[in-house]
């Protein structure tokens, strides 16, 4: 014989009330991501120029990467790619890589910023962490590309591993660690506010 227990139906209002914090986080994260990604698409559409090809940020990252490579004792320069919107990167006269728009760290920064805003606390600490984290990610990205180019120059047989596994893990791993640090800091700010 089976005993059936009557289950009280849960209303949609109760579900939203119970999961308010998660829903708020998701709405803020997705909304912020879509707005920032939209602005970035507009920037890419209107931001190209002959002077700073293919766009200002990608050109700046390329130039700074070349300078970092030179700081490591290698000869380096960049030039416009003739066939697609990218910069050609040379190390000791060897063309090693194309720096495309996806290499400029803006997409990673959009993810980082969206998460921090979605998990925000008081304005000042949130804003300062956004700025510090964004600068750190940008600098790490430039150094990452420079080390990747040097790695490909010195160890060409490891190009696929370096480009597809090691260096993406560095940048995305760093963002993840920054998120974890922020969650711990934000929880501390919220705990102090509740006391």
Number of domains in the chain: 1
The domain in which residue 77 lies consists of 21-194
In a domain, 135, yes or no: yes
pLDDT of residue 194 exceeding 80: no
Other C-beta atoms closer than 10 Å to the C-beta of 142 total 21
| pLDDT score recorded for residue 14 | 83
Is 10 part of a structural domain of the chain? Answer: no
Task: Evaluate whether residue 9 is within a structural domain.
Answer: no
In a domain? residue 15 = no
**What digits encode the pLDDT tens for the residues 7-49?**
677 777 888 888 888 999 999 999 999 999 999 999 988 877 7
12 lies in a domain? Answer: no
Kindly report, residue by residue over 150-166, the tens digit of the pLDDT.
999 999 999 999 999 99
3-state SS, residue 104: coil
Does any domain span residue 80? yes
Q: 3 falls in which pLDDT band (50, 70, 90)?
A: low
Mean pLDDT of the chain: 91
Q: Does residue 35 belong to any structural domain of this protein?
A: yes
Confidence of residue 5 (pLDDT cuts 50, 70, 90): low
């Amino acid at each position: 014989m089976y005993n059936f227990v009557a289950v009280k139906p849960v209303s949609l209002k109760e579900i939203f009330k119970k999961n308010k914090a998660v829903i708020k986080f998701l709405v803020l994260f997705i909304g912020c991501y879509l707005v920032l990604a939209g602005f970035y698409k507009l920037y890419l559409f209107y931001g190209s120029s002959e002077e700073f090809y293919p766009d200002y940020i990608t050109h700046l990252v390329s130039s700074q990467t070349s300078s970092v490579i030179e700081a490591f004792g290698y000869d380096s320069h960049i030039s416009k790619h003739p066939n697609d919107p990218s910069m050609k990167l040379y190390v000791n006269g060897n063309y090693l890589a194309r720096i495309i728009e996806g290499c400029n760290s803006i997409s990673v920064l959009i993810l980082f910023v969206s998460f921090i805003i979605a998990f925000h606390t008081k304005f000042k600490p949130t804003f300062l962490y956004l700025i510090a984290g964004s600068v750190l990610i940008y600098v790490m990205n430039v150094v990452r590309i420079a080390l990747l180019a040097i790695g490909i120059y010195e160890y060409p047989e490891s190009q696929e591993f370096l480009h597809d596994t090691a260096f993406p893990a560095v940048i995305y791993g760093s963002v993840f660690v920054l998120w974890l640090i922020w969650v711990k800091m934000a929880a501390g700010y919220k705990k102090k506010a509740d006391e």
